[in-house]
Amino acid sequence: MRTGTQFTGRLNPNQSLKWFTFGWPTTWHVVRYVVPTTPQVGAPEVHWDIEVERASVDRCTYWITVKNLTGAVIDFEGRYAVLN
């Protein structure tokens, strides 16, 4: 298994932004997740959606939309794990 940080970001209160990452083999089973890195009182909350677009027969692009669900600025990391 391989893991890593693909991107980092900052979101203003209730802001939503979209990131993409391309050139991933379509045969890989990839899990993507978002981890808030800003220390806060209470738990920072984010929501993310992932769309997969096939770029070619053997490559794909992941579109990751991240939304800040709080009233404070949040820093975060977009991480991945390749399971095969």
For residue range 30-80, list pLDDT tens digits in order. 999 999 998 766 777 899 999 999 989 999 999 999 999 998 899 999 999
21 - beta bridge partners?
Answer: 62
Buried b (16+ CB within 10 A) or exposed e, 40-61: eeeebebeeeeeeeeeeeeebe
| Residue matched to tokens 């738990």 | 43
Kindly give, in sequence order, each residue whose CB lies less than 8 Å from that of residue 6, ignoring residues fewer than 6 positions away. Answer: 21, 32, 78, 79, 80
This prediction's pTM: 0.86
- For residue 9, the model assigns a pLDDT of 95
